[in-house]
Amino acid sequence: MSRQLAACLLNVSEARNLGVVERIAKAAVSIVNPPNIKPIHPDWKINASVLNIFEDYDYNRSVITIAAHEDHIGMCIESACKMAYNLIDLIDHSGIHPRLGAVDLVPLHPISVDTDLQKLGTIAKSLSERITQDIEGTSIFLFGAADSEFRGLVQRRKQVQWFKRPVDYPNLVQDLGAKPSSRYGLTGVGAAPYMMNVNVTINSQDIALGKRIAYSLRATTPGGLPGVAAMAFPHEGQVEVACNVDLLPIEDVKKTQVNQLKISLGGKYCYTPASVITERVTEIAGQVDVNVDGTSLVGFTPEDAEALALQALRHNIPDMWR
C-alpha cells in the first residue's frame, strides 16, 4: 500500500515561551486526527504527528517537524500557521538567527518514495493563498515547486533580503498577501526535496573562523560540499556553523562526488551526510588548533522521518516529540 507521506519542518520565531510552541504543535495535528477525520489508511490510527520540536533559546527559533499523508499535510500546516500568527508578535522578537517572519519558513518535503513533489508544490501555494486571505496583514514569498519559476530557497531568500539587517519591512516584496509589516513579517512557503539542518559547534569564539569554515562548506564554493548552504553564528559562548543540507536528484550530482554521499528515497536522491560535514569542519578548525565540540542534526534524515512517522501513525502517537 502506498504511503505518500510528507513532512514540514515549520520554522517559527519563538523558543523562549515553550507553551506557545506546544500550542502551535498541537494545532498542527488535532485538525486532521480523530474524531475530526478518520485515518486515511486502514493500518493507521491517526493521520498526523509532530515528530520533533527543536528549540534554541539564543536563536529564539523553533523547528516543528510535522508528518502526515500528502492529502492532509496542507491542513496541518494551515492550522499551525494560523495559531502561530495569533500567538507570535514579531515586534517583540529578539534573537541572533536571521528571520523575516513570525512564521519564518514553511517547507514541504516528500519523505516517501511515492510522494509527489509537484503535488506538494500545489498544496503549498494553495495553503499560502488561504492563509493570506484568512489572516489580514500576512505576507508570503514562494519557493521551490510552489514557485512558478521553481527558484530555490537560497535564491529567494537573497531576493527578499532575508540575510539583510536591519529589516526594512515596508520595502520587502511578497508574492501573496499584504505588504510585509513588522507584526507578521514575511513568510517563505514552498516545496522541495527533503532538507536537513546540521549544526557543528567549534570550541572557539572566533566568528571570523566560523565564517571561513561556513564558506568552505557551501556548495557554491569551489570544492564545497554538494547541497550544503552554511552560516556561522555566535552561540552559547562558542561558534556554531549551521548548515542546510538539501537532497539532490542523483542525476544532478557529479559521478566523482557520489561516493561520499548518502543515497536516499529509493535511489532518486542523495545528500551529504553529517559525518562528512563534521570531518570538513574538524579539518579546517584543526588547522588553527580549534576543536569541534559537537554536531547536532535538527530533526531526522528522510529515512528516519518516514520510519518514525509510520510508527506514530500506526500506534496513535500524535505527539511523538515528547
Concatenated DSSP letters of 87-99:
H--GGG---SS--
DSSP-assigned beta bridge partners for residue 188: 105, 141
Q: What pLDDT, on a 0 to 100 scale, did the predictor assign at position 1?
A: 53
**What domains sit in the chain, N to C, each tagged with a CATH number?**
5-193+303-314 (3.30.990.10), 195-298 (3.30.70.670)
143: Cβ contacts below 8 Å, ≥ 6 apart: 151, 152, 153, 155, 156, 188, 189, 190, 192
Q: What pLDDT, on a 0 to 100 scale, did the predictor assign at position 24?
A: 99
E-strand stretches of 168-303? 176-177, 187-191, 195-202, 228-235, 238-246, 248-249, 262-264, 269-271, 292-298
Region 189-194: mean pLDDT is 98
Q: What pLDDT, on a 0 to 100 scale, did the predictor assign at position 14?
A: 98
Q: Quick check: 315 pLDDT over 70?
A: yes
CA distance 237 to 265: 38
Q: What pLDDT, on a 0 to 100 scale, did the predictor assign at position 230?
A: 97
What would the pLDDT profile of 213-223 be if each residue is shown by its tens digit? 999 999 999 99
Q: What pLDDT, on a 0 to 100 scale, did the predictor assign at position 257?
A: 83
Region 131-154: mean pLDDT is 97
Q: How many Cβ atoms sit within 10 Å of the Cβ of residue 17?
A: 13
Q: What pLDDT, on a 0 to 100 scale, did the predictor assign at position 304?
A: 95
Mean pLDDT of the chain: 96
**3-state SS, residue 181:** strand
Q: What pLDDT, on a 0 to 100 scale, did the predictor assign at position 254?
A: 82
Concatenated DSSP letters of 111-155:
-STT--HHHHHHHHHHHHHHHHHHSTT-EEEEEETTSTT---HHH
Q: What pLDDT, on a 0 to 100 scale, did the predictor assign at position 152?
A: 95
Which is it for strands 228-235 and 238-246: parallel, antiparallel or unpaired? Answer: antiparallel
User: Would you call 292 exposed, middle or buried from its count of C-beta atoms within 10 A (0-12, 13-18, 19+)?
Assistant: buried
Q: What pLDDT, on a 0 to 100 scale, did the predictor assign at position 150?
A: 97
pTM: 0.93
Q: Quick check: 58 pLDDT over 70?
A: yes
What would the pLDDT profile of 259-300 be if each residue is shown by its tens digit? 889 999 999 999 999 999 999 999 999 999 999 999 999 889
pLDDT > 70: what percent of the chain? 99
